[in-house]
Structure 1
Amino acid sequence: MSEPGSTNTVDQLLGHTKGPAEPVTDRDLTRARSSAYIVHGNFHELAQICDDISTTGTIIVEKGAEKTDVENEVYRRVHNYVSSLYSYNEQIRSILNKRLKQHIRKGYFLPARDNKAAPDYVRRGTFLWGLRNDFQHGDYWCLRVRYEGTQNGTDCYQLYFQKRDFEATPKGDLDSAGDYLVHASDEDQQYPLPYIGSFHRNLFSEFENAFEEWCDKTAPRSSRRVFVAQVVLPIFQMTVSIF
């Protein structure tokens, strides 16, 4: 599906640089931007519990916090992020299907194991889609929150992915649950929080910009108000006592 002459991720995803066949409407853009805002907000909430989500991904909690409380809160925030990412991709796919004269299957966002030419956004996102599927159709057994000791008066935890317990139901052109794991190394997948941090701050933000640029191919750039929620500042402060 890759378009070799374009650096735009949406062009690469579609395999051509023609742009929309029909103009993208303001309503389309509002849907996409609102969905992206939710993804950014859920990422912000997940990053708040880590010292640095993009590097170590160490979870910092108050000393003596109940491990069950830590587990539940980490799972909740990871679930919210991967679920909102799935919803965002489905919004984009819906808009593409409306504005193109081609059918964009789920498989465009879930490249098969032999599709090495797909953009990094969808290749790396396949693992996160698999986590979402595991949560929705199974349980959280593929993730483990482990106590890592105490530092500077706080307890430290790490989130690990356990491949042997991964049971994502195959969806969207994928033949088996293992296909969700082929586009990233075992080492990368072992630490889901840094994986999410790198994915969101680099690939998600890039794709969001690329989609805005792709939409602008049907109208002069000055006629559109470009809004990309790169940083989300919390309007409502949620207090979780253990963090």
Structure 2
Amino acid sequence: MSSYEYEIQALYEANVLPANTLSQSAATRLTAAKRVLDQNYYEVKQYINGDLETNPVYICPEDSREDAGFEVLRLLHNYLSSLYSFNETIRVVFNQNTADGVELTSGSFTPATGGTEESYYARKLSFLRGLRTDFQHGGFSSLSFEKVGDLGNFAGYHVEFDSETFVEDSGLRDPKRFLRHTNGNEQRYPLCFIEQFQTGQLQSFYHDVEEWFD
């Protein structure tokens, strides 16, 4: 449990407070970043036929399974990219509205890259940052599409994460650092993880940031 009142203080590792009131333009930037992230999340959710939290299966004709798989990857990439941009927006606005010398870095948001382990949000974010980094540099090397059933010419698939492939083939520096705050069950179905993260840690963190700026 964090020893800080606000999650953003846990990221910075000090009980820092804003130095000035948030401007309208800065507030608009935060809102826009959150809306873009939410929209990308909803597009993932709408494309998946099963329940995103418990059974994220997508159904497609057998003869178009490759195109359907690429679409899932595209939507997942968009979500992870907008999540990165959301955090970067918070980082920049934080730095602009605190005292001189009080700054968050990109690494502050992930213990895997030198950030604090005090922040529960940052610990859970590590896995998704690892996926995004793999997408950027490894070409989705750690994901596979596993058939879970069929009906006539249609079949259902899960997107599954392979930690061994991620560690061995992603080409990332010390990839294990992105996995140490989640277990195999959490990692296995990334779409389940996104659902839980988006509706849980992300929402809580955003409201926490709003309160801290107020």
Q: Which has a greater percent of helix?
A: 2
Contact 2:62 2:153 in 1 (8 A): no
Equivalence for 2:107: 107
What is residue 226 of structure 1 aligned with on the other side?
none
SS in 1 for 2:111: coil
The Cα offsets for residues 94-113 of structure 1, whole Å up to 9 and x where unpaired, read as: 11111123121222101148
Which secondary structure state, in structure 1, belongs to the residue aligned with residue 38 of structure 2? helix
In structure 2, the CA distance between the partners of 1:71 and 1:113, relative to structure 1 (3 Å rule), is same
Aligned partner of residue 198 in structure 1, secondary structure: helix
Deviations 1:53-97 (A, max 9, x none): 1122222x2443522112101110110001100011111111111
User: Structure 1, residues 169-227: CA drift from partner, whole Å, max 9, x if none?
Assistant: 34xxxxx22211111012211110100110001111111111111111xxxxxxxxxxx
What's 1:223 paired with?
Answer: none
The residue aligned with 2:43 is 45
The answer on whether the counterparts of 1:52 and 1:58 sit within 8 Å (CA) in structure 2 is yes
Displacement of 1:121? 1.3
d(CA) in 1 for partners of 2:76 and 2:113?
Answer: 25
2:3 corresponds to which letter in structure 1?
P
TM-score with structure 1 length normalisation? Answer: 0.78
Q: What does residue 13 of structure 1 align with?
A: 11
Aligned counterparts, 1:137-216, within 5 A: 137-150=137-150, 154-166=154-166, 167=170, 169-170=172-173, 176-216=174-214
Alpha-carbon spacing, 1:30–1:66, altered in 2? closer, same or farther (3 Å): same
TM-score, structure 2 as length reference: 0.88
CA gap of 1:210–1:168, structure 2 versus 1, over 3 A, is farther
Partner of 1:22: 20
Report percent identity of matched pairs: 29
Task: Give the equivalent residue in structure 1 for 2:118.
Answer: 118
Aligned counterpart, 1:76: 74
Q: Deviations over 1:132-189 (max 9, x none)?
A: 111112211111112111269852110011122222634xxxxx22211111012211
Aligned to 1:34: 32
Aligned equivalent of 1:89, options 87, 90, 100:
87
The code of the aligned residue for 1:161 comes to F
Amino acid at match of 2:133: N
CA distance in 1, matches of 2:139, 2:89: 25
Q: Check the 8 A contact 1:3/1:14 in 2, yes or no.
A: no
Letter in 2 for 1:169: L
- Give the number of equivalent residue pairs: 208
Farther-moved stretch of structure 1 (178-187 vs 101-110): 101-110
Contact 2:19 2:98 in 1 (8 A): yes
Tell whether the 8 Å contact from 1:133 to 1:168 is kept in structure 2 after alignment: no
Quickly say closer, same or farther: Cα 1:187–1:113, change in 2 above 3 A.
farther
Greater Cα shift, 48-57 or 62-71 = 62-71
Structure 2: distance between partners of 1:114 and 1:169: 15
Structure 1: give runs of 5+ residues left out of the alignment.
171-175, 217-243
C-alpha distance in structure 2 between counterparts of 1:117 and 1:152, whole Å: 49
What is the letter of the counterpart of residue 164 of structure 2?
Answer: R
Instruction: Give 2:3's aligned residue.
Output: 4
